[in-house]
A and B are shown apart, each in its own frame.
Chain A
Amino acid sequence: MFNYRTLVSTITVMAFLAVWEFAPRAGIVDATFTSQPTRVVAAGFEIIRTAGFLHDVSVSLSEFALGFTLAIAVGVPLGLVLGRFPVLRYVLDPPIMAIYATPHLALLPIIVVWLGIGMQSKIAVAFVSGVIPILVNAMAGVRGVDGSWIVAARSFSAREWDVFVKVILPASLPSVILGIRLGLSRAVLGVVVAEMYQSQAGVGNEIMRYGSEFRTDYLLFDVLLVSLFGLTATSAVRALEERLWTAGE
């Protein structure tokens, strides 16, 4: 149960936390800049009790939920269609690849110009961040479908719709879910960074505020909170993915 891997990992994490905790105490570094594990935990208890915290969390969560749902709703069907029809793909592939190669958060300022500093712009950023990997992977999934499955379906006189529903869709599902997982962490990041850039509320807004107030421990707690959220959501999708793979491969 306690094998070599967990032993080594635990020891290094402990060592890291210990150095982080005791270096400021020994006066090697300034805790204002680095904070300390104990302080971060303490900050957590304080933040949870502050008036704006729940509001900020709910703002960020709803921005994420709306933007990401939109990304799935647009990315999956569009990706599947683009994967199935090469002509459309040739037309749309270059702009999509250009966006894919671009650091998508560079769009922040223009999105703010278009949609203002309220929730809409964050929803848009979550959408833009999430939609590209979803679309690209859905497309790749369809293109990776084994031709022999389609021929087999055709040999039983399958109509185009049957081929799509009974072969293309299930065959590309793992790839679609992978895209959703990749898009998810990007959308979480997108919301937080958009809030950090210009906003009136949200966890990213708090992070920026705590940063300017030199409250490193508060800031780190918020960062950890977002990481934890991203990690949990990603792990949930990954678990789903693994179940699909064991069923499918």
Chain B
Amino acid sequence: MKTAPALVGITSFAVILLVWESAVRFGFINPFFVSEPSAIALSLSRAARSGELWHNVTVSLREFAIGYGLSVVIGVLAGALAGRFRTVEYALDPFLWFLYSAPLIAFYPIFVLWFGLGVPTVIAMTFLLSVTQIATSTLKGIQSVNPGLLRAARSFGATDRDLLWKVVLPATVPMMTAGLRLGIGRALMGVVVGELFGATAGLGYSISYYGALLKTTDMIASLIVVVVLGVLCTQGLTAVEERFDSWRTF
């Protein structure tokens, strides 16, 4: 059952590449605008051999790891505290709500004022974009714990610690991992956009750099690396999610 869609999916990508390549070859589209798959592949292999690709990927991934890592620590902590203490929840609520709906990337110029152009600003964007999602999901996960389960555990003499480790945490994990997955998407956005605006290395920088030089092929090559990273990260966390989530039936 599962192989058929996968096969169609691969075919689908192959057909897109084929149509793209031949449309350019036969002169239907100007390669200046869309380049062509073969040229992009060449550009990628050149970038890989010169070490440029690796350098950009490591820079971006490092920013991602630091920004997202901070988000996870602070987001889970804030969400857990808000889930445990009503007062914390009410205190954080207006801020979470604002961060959730504000166009956070618009704070970019302020971050530049604070941290200067470059890595720290990118990390700050990454953090800011993903932390709300993680905190909110953690909070919602804790709030969704069935009170009946808590009562049942208490009836068997569970202590507060038992409740945390044996009921609250396992019940919270699915929603929390969902938040972590959504957070990844937003963190990646933070990295790439942060680098688009001002950086000296990284995938976003390289997209922006080649864009300014109108080197479409190199730009699309970097873009494709971003797409692949995005898909890999999301798929990776979806796999983790499914592992923790297997007891869920809905």
Chains A and B directly touch (beta carbon < 8 Å): yes
Q: Are A98 and B102 touching (Cβ within 8 A)?
A: no
By secondary structure, the A interface counts as helix
Within 8 A of B (CB), among A3-19: 4-5, 7-9, 11-13, 16
Interface readout for B196-238 with A: 1 if CB under 8 Å, 0 if not? 1100000110011011101010011001001100110111000
Q: Is A223 an interface residue (CB 8 A)?
A: yes
Contact with A along B38-73 (1 / 0, CB 8 A): 000000000000000000000000000000000000
A102 near B12: Cβ-Cβ < 8 Å: no
Instruction: Find chain A residues with CB under 8 A from B93 CB.
Output: 5, 9
Distance in Å: Cβ of B87 to nearest Cβ of chain A: 6
Chain A residues within 8 Å of B226, by CB? 102-103, 106
Q: A103-B185, A109-B219 are in contact. Are A196 and B90 (CB under 8 A)?
A: no
Would you call A134 an interface residue if the criterion is a C-beta within 8 Å of the partner chain's C-beta atoms? no
Interface status of B193 (Cβ within 8 A of chain A): yes
Does any Cβ of B come within 8 Å of A33's Cβ? yes
For chain A, residues 102 to 154, give those with C-beta under 8 angstroms from any C-beta of chain B.
102-110, 112-114
Known A-B contacts A8-B91, A211-B110, A227-B103; the reply to A98 vs B227 at CB < 8 A is: yes
Contact check, A189 vs B5: say whether CB atoms are below 8 A apart. Answer: no
Nearest CB of chain B from residue A112's CB, rounded to whole Å: 6
Looking across the interface, which residue of chain B has its beta carbon closest to that of A214?
Answer: B113
- Tell me which residues across on chain B come within 8 A of A231, comparing CB atoms: 101
Interface size on B, residues (CB 8 A): 58
A58 to B156, CA, bound (A): 64
In whole Å, how far is B59's beta carbon from the nearest beta carbon of chain A?
Answer: 15
Tell me whether A197 and B196 are in contact (CB under 8 A): yes
User: Which residues of chain B are within 8 angstroms of A197 by Cβ–Cβ distance?
Assistant: 196-197
A12 in contact with B94 given A101-B231, A222-B106 (CB within 8 Å): yes
Measured between alpha carbons, how far is A114 from B216 in the docked complex, in Å? Answer: 10
Residues of A within 8 A of B (CB): 4-5, 7-9, 11-13, 16, 32-33, 90-95, 97-99, 101-110, 112-114, 185, 188-189, 192-193, 196-197, 204, 207-208, 210-212, 214, 216, 219-220, 222-223, 226-227, 230-231, 234
Interface residues of B, Cβ cutoff 8 Å to A: 4-5, 8-13, 16, 33, 86-87, 90-95, 98, 101-103, 105-110, 112-114, 185, 188-189, 191-193, 196-197, 203-204, 207-208, 210-212, 214, 216, 219-220, 223, 226-227, 230-231, 233-235
